[in-house]
Chains A and B, each alone.
Chain A
Amino acid sequence: MLWNLPFITVVVLTFIGLVTVLLKKNIIKILLGINILESAVNLFIVALGYREGGVAPIFTLAPSELMVLPTPQALVLTSIVIGVATSALVLSFAMVLQKKYGTVDIDKIRRLHG
C-alpha cells in the first residue's frame, strides 16, 4: 500500500486540479488549477521510473551503481518548461483583459457569443 502512495497522490492532485479549472471563476485561479494538473502529471511520469533501492542517475560521486531510470526525468524537465511558458502567456492575457474589460471574472468576459 505504501509503495502506491505517489500514484494515489497523482489521483488526488488531478481531481483537485480538474475541480479548480471547471468550477472557479477567476482567471488566476483557473491558471493555478492548470498548474496543479501539470504537477500531477509530472509526478506520475517521475514515479514511473522508480526502481527499488535505486539512487539518482548521476555518475558523479554516486553511492552505488543501482539507479532509477533517467528518461522520465528528461521528459518531466521539458514538461516543466512548457508549464512555465503556459503560465507566462495566460498571465499576460489576464493583464490585457484587466486593462480592457476591467475584470478578470470569466462570467463577465463574454462579449463573443452566438
Chain B
Amino acid sequence: MRMSKIVRTAADILYPAILIFGLYVVAHGHLTPGGGFQGGAVIATGGALVIVAYNYKEVTGWLKKNVLMGQEVIGLFGFIGVGLLALAFGQVFFFNYLAGSGSLFGMPVPYGINPGELNTAGVLPLMNFAVGIEVWGGLTIVILYMLSGLEKEGC
C-alpha cells in the first residue's frame, strides 16, 4: 500500500528534519521545555510518517527491529548506569555528581533569568539522551509491531 510519489518524497525530505528537531528537544531538556520522553516521541512520530508513506516490506529494510531493540537496551542501561555510578563514587543513588564540577556538563548555573547555558546541569543531559534514545527505539518498535499485525490480516 504505497502512497503516491508526492507523499513519499515529502516524507523523505521531512524525516531528517524531524530527527534533528527531536534531538534538539532532547539535548536542551534542562533549559527549555522538553527532555527525554518528549524528544523521543517526536522522533518516533517521524518514523511513523515514513511507515505510513511506504509499505511494510520496504520499511523493514531500513528500520530494523534488531537495531531498535539494541537502542532500547543501550538507552535503559545508560540511564540506570549513570544512577549506579553515583553509588560507585560513594554518593547517594542518582546524586548529581557532575554539576558544578568543571568536567563534562559541569559549569555552575548562573543565578536568575539568563539566556541559557548548554554546558550546565551535570548528569541531567546524559539521562535525557539515554531516555530519548530508549523512547525512540521503544515507540518505533511498537508502531512496527502494530503495522505487522495489519499486514498479516491483509486489510
How many chain B residues touch A (Cβ–Cβ < 8 Å)?
A: 16
Residues of chain B lying within 8 A (CB to CB) of residue A3: none
A59-105: which residues lie under 8 A (CB-CB) from chain B? 59-62, 65, 77, 81, 84, 88, 91-92, 95, 99
Are B115 and A77 touching (Cβ within 8 A)?
A: no
Are B146 and A60 touching (Cβ within 8 A)?
A: no
Interface string of B55-82 (1 = CB under 8 A from A): 0000000000000000000000000000
Q: How far does the alpha carbon of A59 sit from the alpha carbon of B116 in the complex, in Å?
A: 8
Of B4-12, B14-22, B31-39, B95-103, the segment with at least 4 beta carbons within 8 Å of chain A is B31-39
- Whether a CB of chain B sits under 8 angstroms from the CB of A8 is no
Are A95 and B32 touching (Cβ within 8 A)?
A: no
Residues of chain A lying within 8 A (CB to CB) of residue B149: 95, 99
Residues of chain A lying within 8 A (CB to CB) of residue B139: 84
How many chain A residues touch B (Cβ–Cβ < 8 Å)?
A: 15
Q: How far does the alpha carbon of A95 sit from the alpha carbon of B143 in the complex, in Å?
A: 13
The one of A59, A65, A77, A84 in contact with B114, judged by C-beta atoms closer than 8 angstroms, is: A59
A23-59: which residues lie under 8 A (CB-CB) from chain B? 56, 58-59
Are A58 and B146 touching (Cβ within 8 A)?
A: no
Residues of A within 8 A of B (CB): 56, 58-62, 65, 77, 81, 84, 88, 91-92, 95, 99
Residues of B within 8 A of A (CB): 31-33, 37, 41, 112-116, 139, 142, 145-146, 149, 153
